[in-house]
Every structure is written in C-alpha cells, then in structure tokens.
Chains A and B, each alone.
Chain A
C-alpha cells in the first residue's frame, strides 16, 4: 500500500480525537459510537517479563498487562474516561465511589452480590478485607510492595457480608487513588486461608473478565472469556493472548505483520510514523501525557553538589520549553511540568511554573544566571559524570540532550551508561555518582503519594539529602483535606524542592503513544501503561 500524507494525517487525527477525545461519556466511549461486536481473540505484545502472577508483590507492567484481565479491583479508574486523573468507578463495589465520612476518616464500600470467582466461590466482603489486609498488614515474611501507600489506614473490616469499611488514622487525599491502584487484585479469602499467601505467585483465581488458560514462561499468557463476569454483556472478546516480545522493533513488526493487534505500553514517535506510513488507516493512534517523569538527581553527599548554587545552575541551564519542542519528535517525552502530573488539578499552571528556576521562558537569561552562580560557587568549567541507564527511550536520548544543555553554561559532562542492575547498584548501594538520571513512574495519578519521590526519606529517593523543611511541608500536605489547601501546600513543596533547594531537576514528562490496528475498538488510552488493562471493554471490528 502506498503511503499518502492524507492517510497519515487521517490516522493521527483519529488518534488525537480519541486520545483527547472529547472525554466521551461512559458507554458511548466504550463502543466508539458503534455497536460492539462479540467474539475474536485479541493478540497483544508485551515488552517485559512476568516475574510472578502476584499483583500485591510485583511492580512491573510485564505482570499487569497479561494478568490484570483475570482479576477485579475494588475500584478502578473509569475505563471509559481513563484520561481523567480523578474519575474513579466501582469494580466489585456498587454505586458511587464513597466519599469519606467522619471527617474523611471512614470509607464504606458496598460490595456487589452477584460476583463469583472463576472457581465458583461467591465473592463477599470477607474476600475484599482479606485482600487489603494482605496488602496493608502483611504477615511477617510476606512481601507487599504497596504497603507504604496505605500508611494512613488504621483498619479494614467487614461490617456485614457485603460491606467493607476502611478506618483511617487521618484523612488523606491519597487514599482513594491508592485503593484504585491496578495491582490490588481481589483474592479469595478461601485461597489465602487454605492455600497460603504465596499461592497467587504461581496460580490464578480471580473474578475478572477472563479466565486463565495457559502460561508458557517467556512466551505468552492466554485467557478466555469468563461468562460469569459481573459487568453483564462484557467482555466482548472470546479471549486474549499476551505475547512476550522484549525487542521494540519486533513488537512494531508484529503489529505491522498483524501477529499482534496492539502494544499497550507505547512506541516512540518514529515507530508510530513508520507504522502509519506502512499501513495508513489500518493503524489508529492514541496519544496522552504519561504519569512518568525523567529527572536528574545530584548526589548531595558529594562536592560540589552539596552547594545549592551548583544545583540551581544545573537546572537553570536546561531549556525545557525548547527541549519539549524538539525532543518530542524523537523521544517519548513532551510536556513541561513540575512535581505533579501536568493534567492534574494539583499541578502547577504555566504562570506558576515560570517562576521556578529553569522554567523561565527566556533561556538566555536563565543560562546567564547559571553561569553567575557557578562563578560565585567557584565551579566554572565544572566537570562531572552523568550516571544513566542503558535504555534508549527516553533515558539515553534525554541524557545526551542534558549534556548538551549543560555544555552551554560551560560544564563538561561525561555520560556513563549502565545496564539496569549496575545503574541501580550505583544509586542504591554504592551512592558514588555525581549526577544521575532518575525517574518517577507511577500508575494511578496520586500526586500526594507520587511526590514522596522528592523526600530525602523516601525509599526511592537517591539524592542523599535530608531536608526537614520539605518533610514538614509534606506532613501538612498529606493531611490537607480540601483541594485548595492541597494545591497551596503543593506549590510550597514544589518551590522548595525545585527552586529554593533545587534538590532534583525535573526534565520533561513522558508522552505515551499507542499505535495499533484499527480493528481494535473500545480501548482508551490512560496516562499510565499500568491502567485500563482489564480488556473488558475491548472488541474487534473484524
């Protein structure tokens, strides 16, 4: 098929409409305005591997994409409006997602009465309680990767057979997004009691839209439609096959050759263009801001990065607005933002951002200030090494761009690209780097939890600093009840972290591009590759 500019433009236009798409109402969006067709098997490619099936333990999308369709959550992001960072709907609960009672310290969920696990066991409040107790209060020796998300929870109890009540120690705006995290699979209490807390690492029994069929390690996971799924009429598909394909080029060719219809994580712009060029309107593109941000972290235990003037010079040298324009053509980064996901109500507006060091639109003025600060600190011609991760998109691309930016204020930077194990060893154990690329990728947009990355006390902060002022602002932020109050404190937090102390430099937020076969309908892009993966609203127009 010959490539035409018109086809390319059409596909992109379709994608743009779908992505920003006029945030269609539920139901209508699920069907793309068409009557969903039933049947067919969705083949999709996954660029990562499954460590185990246990969502409560694992952290990779390599587990979420193939395993999430077997499970339900208590609440989830609205699958018909996943681009909204605040639109949550019930999954195994019924009615609306509860607002907090008792000053935001009690949340009561009514559980649906028509749900059965794939083995036929009816789901009750006890299953939800057992699940969240495993996540929040795991027994000794049992891993739970999201235990820390629920620091505010005091207890989880079933008040009757179909009612679950969460009691919080203090009201927290991060509670509901934490509950909606796509890793919080609902397990059967019977399985946990009889088969143990590690049974789910190798076995599956959920209430999701698909039943487990087969797992061939390193190759694929397959599932078939669960006829007893609690959203009647769904899923539309007869089944799915999640094919492991670690090489990006192979995933791209698989869609081109129709061995797979979609890849849910995202392609770089060039890959999107290649697919559209080859297949025209047989490819649909959806694009969205991504809840991942690439940062650079100076090691504040090392001189001269313990000097705030040097750190400020690092951030002032970076032309974010210019970088957004050019880097977005070659890499999966685009949006300029602060510490909060750009589309969230708690995020800084452009007017607020330009007041931060390195966000001013006059890059020459920023760089003049950077040179002045370096001179004042006695660090003209500063030479250092940038620790980076051996992953092209977007790490190496952004790392190379940063070096060029720093060179413009007279810094000499060498990039040291390391495989992931070595990269993490340097960050977490050796702690001997000068400046390192770092990133913050989360699933549900939960700014109050997500910004803990900037706290020196956080388990995933590698700056080797301790800032009691920032910790104090966060303590207030965590307990702030109104959005207005949260927003005000978030600005204080952001100004302290990015401007006054320049503890970490935020570069650009990632940009998610999903190019896929146009016969895949019903799926809507979310701002995270972890979200909207139950596949219950997808259908094939074949």
Chain B
C-alpha cells in the first residue's frame, strides 16, 4: 500500500508539468493583454506610451520562453508571483478565497449526501413504486435545473416572501464573514448557495446510489442473508449500502473537486468571493499569473481528490488491494 501511495505521488509530477505547459501556452493564444484592459478598457484616453510601460513592468514584452521559465521555476519553488491586475501576491489572493470556497464545497457536499443517500436508498428499496417515481423525478429535476437559476430563484423568493411577510425585503449578506467570527452571519450567507449547488450535486449522487444499491441487492449474499431471516433494515444498512458506496464515493469526490474551482456562476449570483469568481475575473482581466496559478491549484485539488478516492476504495471494499 505504501509503495502504491508513493508511486501515485510521483505520478503527480508529470501530470502537473503537463497542465502547466498547457495552461501557459493556451493563455497566450487568447488575444489582448492585461495592460490594454487596465488602461484602455474604460474608454478614457489611453496613452500608448503608458501601455508599453505597463507591459515592460509586467514582463509581457519578455521572450515567451523567458516568461515560461519564470513561471515553471516559480511554481517549482512555490513562488506563484504577483497578480498582474492587483499587484498582490498570488498566494495571498488565492488564500483569501480558499476558505470560502472550501466551506461552500463542504456544505454543498453535506447537503448533497443528506439528500442523496436516504433518497437513493428509498428509491432502490421501493423500486417501481410511486415513491421511486417521485424520487427519480426530483433527482432528474436537480440535474435539469442549472444551479445559478436556482440561486436567482432563491434570492428572488427570499426577497418577495420576506417583503410579503414582514414588509421589508431580506436577502442573504453579500460580504463574507468567517464562521469563527459570526457563525449565524456566515450561515445566513452560505446556506443558500450550498442548497442551490448541493441539490444539483445530490441529483447525480441519488441516481448513482439507487442504481448501485439495486445491483448489490441482487447479489447472492443478499439473497443468502434474506434466506437466513435477517431483518431487512440490517441487510440494507450493514451489507448492501456500504458495498454500493464505491461509485457514489467516486461521484462525490469528483464533484467536490469541481466545486472548489468550478462554482463560477453560483458565486457570481450570490456574490461569493470564492475561487470561481476569482477565476472568471482573472480570465477577463487577462491576468496570466493569477489564472495560471488558479489552474494549477485546481489541478492539484483534482489529483489529490482522485488519490483519496482510490485510498477510500480499499477501506470500503476489503477485496481491493493495491500492490
């Protein structure tokens, strides 16, 4: 097992290098640069001399291979450089948003699991009954509804309902406060995006739980357990559910990694200052250093999440052993 973990860790290096090469060159294929946006983007008089000076200061006029070497060397030494837009260290910019994105991802995952496992299980156990149909409709709706639309509806719903009930409209806070400073303030902001994304996320996990559980329930050992007269609840909870969790864990893991950097639109809808919003802004601003760093962070999260999923497999299914 340790040898396997070591090999997997080593394999991360070429994957990260590949991602670094791709993102560096793809970004430079996009027309325009940060200096144009910063100095000419507002329609005011744009002094060509100032734009050139800006490019010189940011190293955009350096040969491409010099820029590439700076990026790779910086990444290898964990120096991600400074944002071309704000001039702040990239690690500071990312670190500031990481806590929020992590919290939303965890909360959305919890919401999703709280919905998906009970509903998926009920749906499988009550296969082809009205309960099953109801759960399937609910989960298909979750896949069909974009979470940003659901987010907008939640905000509008809150505004309209609270105005009708209390005379003054209420909406979630639009600036982040840490749960350690103000727990309820934090929850009143983040529970809504967690529900909006967690619902969509649960839809996939519900269907996965249902189909995996149905498969397991047809196994010989389940039939044997029933033949022995074991209580159905114990069969489901102790023998079937745990063994049907492998594909569910995979889906949950991938979705979690996706949530860390991919909540692009939901973060905009709820004005969350997370990694997704930062991603959009850095791309729109042509902030190469920040975009490169963000991509590398997300790639690293994906790699680690996949790695952890593989380790979980062995824990869930004792037959799986890595040599």
Interface residues in chain A, defined as those with a beta carbon under 8 Å from any beta carbon in chain B:
1, 45, 49-52, 58-61, 141, 143-149, 201-202, 216-220, 241, 243-247, 249-250, 253-254, 256-260, 278-279, 292, 419-426, 428-430, 439-443, 449, 452-453, 458-460
Question: Contact: B168 with A258, CB < 8 Å?
Answer: yes
**8 closest Cβ pairs, A-B complex:** A421-B32, A257-B171, A425-B31, A441-B43, A425-B32, A219-B273, A218-B273, A424-B36
Chain A residues, CB < 8 A from B170: 257-258
Query: A52 to B87, alpha carbons, bound, how many Å?
Result: 7
Chain A residues, CB < 8 A from B175: 216, 219-220, 241, 243
Question: Which of B88, B174, B278 is within 8 Å of A250, CB to CB?
Answer: B174
Query: A50 to B273, alpha carbons, bound, how many Å?
Result: 14
Residue of B nearest to A441 (CB): B43
Query: A426 to B32, alpha carbons, bound, how many Å?
Result: 8
Chain A residues, CB < 8 A from B169: 256-258, 278-279
Residue from A51, A241, A254, A423 whose CB has the most chain B CB atoms within 10 Å: A51
Question: Which of A60, A144, A440 is within 8 Å of B41, CB to CB?
Answer: A60
Chain B residues, CB < 8 A from A430: 31
Question: Contact: B171 with A459, CB < 8 Å?
Answer: no
Within B40-63, which residues are at the interface with A (CB < 8 Å)?
40-48, 50, 53-54, 56-57
Query: A200 to B64, alpha carbons, bound, how many Å?
Result: 30
Given A141-B57, A202-B88, A421-B30: A59 touches B39 (CB 8 Å cut-off): yes
Residue of A nearest to B88 (CB): A217
Given A259-B173, A278-B163: A452 touches B45 (CB 8 Å cut-off): yes
Given A201-B87, A428-B40, 4 extra CB contacts under 8 A: A51-B87, A246-B277, A253-B155, A257-B158
Residue of A nearest to B277 (CB): A218
Shortest Cβ gap from A30 to chain B (Å): 28
Interface residues in chain B, defined as those with a beta carbon under 8 Å from any beta carbon in chain A:
30-33, 36-48, 50, 53-54, 56-57, 85-88, 92-93, 96-97, 152, 155-156, 158-159, 163, 167-171, 173-176, 268-271, 273, 277-278, 281, 284-286
Chain B residues, CB < 8 A from A254: 171, 174, 271
Question: Contact: A421 with B36, CB < 8 Å?
Answer: yes
Query: A259 to B270, alpha carbons, bound, how many Å?
Result: 12
Chain A residues, CB < 8 A from B41: 59-60, 420, 424
Query: A217 to B275, alpha carbons, bound, how many Å?
Result: 12
Given A49-B85, A278-B169, A421-B286: A216 touches B159 (CB 8 Å cut-off): no
Residue from B32, B41, B44, B56 whose CB has the most chain A CB atoms within 10 Å: B44
Residue of A nearest to B278 (CB): A218
Shortest Cβ gap from A213 to chain B (Å): 13
Chain B residues, CB < 8 A from A425: 31-32, 36
Shortest Cβ gap from B30 to chain A (Å): 7
Question: Which of B31, B174, B284 is within 8 Å of A426, CB to CB?
Answer: B31
Chain A residues, CB < 8 A from B56: 141
Question: Which of B40, B85, B92 is within 8 Å of A460, CB to CB?
Answer: B40
Question: Contact: A460 with B277, CB < 8 Å?
Answer: no
Query: A246 to B265, alpha carbons, bound, how many Å?
Result: 12
Shortest Cβ gap from B232 to chain A (Å): 49
Query: A424 to B51, alpha carbons, bound, how many Å?
Result: 13
Question: Contact: A250 with B268, CB < 8 Å?
Answer: yes
Chain A residues, CB < 8 A from B284: 419-421
Question: Contact: B269 with A144, CB < 8 Å?
Answer: no
Given A49-B281, A58-B38, A257-B159: A440 touches B43 (CB 8 Å cut-off): yes
Question: Which of B31, B37, B43, B54 is within 8 Å of A429, CB to CB?
Answer: B31
Shortest Cβ gap from B95 to chain A (Å): 11
Shortest Cβ gap from A221 to chain B (Å): 11
Question: Contact: B50 with A144, CB < 8 Å?
Answer: yes
Given A59-B44, A278-B163, A424-B41: A147 touches B50 (CB 8 Å cut-off): yes
Chain B residues, CB < 8 A from A460: 40, 43-46
Residue from B86, B152, B167, B284 whose CB has the most chain A CB atoms within 10 Å: B86
Question: Contact: A202 with B93, CB < 8 Å?
Answer: no
Given A49-B281, A250-B269, A425-B31: A148 touches B47 (CB 8 Å cut-off): yes
Shortest Cβ gap from A138 to chain B (Å): 9
Question: Which of A50, A146, A292 is within 8 Å of B86, CB to CB?
Answer: A50
Question: Contact: B33 with A253, CB < 8 Å?
Answer: no
Question: Which of A428, A429, A458 is within 8 Å of B45, CB to CB?
Answer: A458
Query: A143 to B284, alpha carbons, bound, how many Å?
Result: 22
Query: A258 to B170, alpha carbons, bound, how many Å?
Result: 7
Question: Contact: A243 with B174, CB < 8 Å?
Answer: yes
Chain A residues, CB < 8 A from B278: 218
Shortest Cβ gap from A405 to chain B (Å): 22
Query: A245 to B176, alpha carbons, bound, how many Å?
Result: 12
17 pairs of residues in contact across A and B, judged by CB atoms under 8 Å: A52-B87, A59-B42, A61-B42, A141-B56, A149-B45, A218-B93, A219-B175, A219-B273, A243-B175, A250-B268, A250-B269, A424-B36, A425-B31, A440-B43, A449-B45, A459-B48, A460-B45
Chain A residues, CB < 8 A from B163: 1, 278
Chain A residues, CB < 8 A from B85: 49, 51
Question: Which of B42, B87, B159, B176 is within 8 Å of A202, CB to CB?
Answer: B87
Query: A440 to B46, alpha carbons, bound, how many Å?
Result: 11
Question: Which of B44, B53, B88 is within 8 Å of A443, CB to CB?
Answer: B44
Chain A residues, CB < 8 A from B96: 216-218
Query: A428 to B269, alpha carbons, bound, how many Å?
Result: 33
Query: A145 to B286, alpha carbons, bound, how many Å?
Result: 20
Query: A487 to B174, alpha carbons, bound, how many Å?
Result: 49
Query: A441 to B54, alpha carbons, bound, how many Å?
Result: 22
Chain B residues, CB < 8 A from A218: 93, 96-97, 273, 277-278, 281
Query: A423 to B43, alpha carbons, bound, how many Å?
Result: 12
Shortest Cβ gap from A322 to chain B (Å): 25
Shortest Cβ gap from B80 to chain A (Å): 15
Question: Contact: A51 with B86, CB < 8 Å?
Answer: yes
Query: A250 to B155, alpha carbons, bound, how many Å?
Result: 9
Question: Contact: B57 with A143, CB < 8 Å?
Answer: yes
Chain B residues, CB < 8 A from A452: 45
Shortest Cβ gap from A368 to chain B (Å): 34
Question: Which of A247, A258, A429 is within 8 Å of B271, CB to CB?
Answer: A247
Chain B residues, CB < 8 A from A243: 174-175, 271
Residue of B nearest to A249 (CB): B152
Shortest Cβ gap from B33 to chain A (Å): 7
Shortest Cβ gap from B38 to chain A (Å): 5
Question: Which of B47, B93, B152, B269 is within 8 Å of A145, CB to CB?
Answer: B47
Residue of B nearest to A419 (CB): B284
Question: Contact: B281 with A246, CB < 8 Å?
Answer: yes
Shortest Cβ gap from B170 to chain A (Å): 6
Chain B residues, CB < 8 A from A217: 86, 88, 92-93, 96
Query: A257 to B51, alpha carbons, bound, how many Å?
Result: 41
Query: A422 to B283, alpha carbons, bound, how many Å?
Result: 12
Question: Contact: B44 with A245, CB < 8 Å?
Answer: no
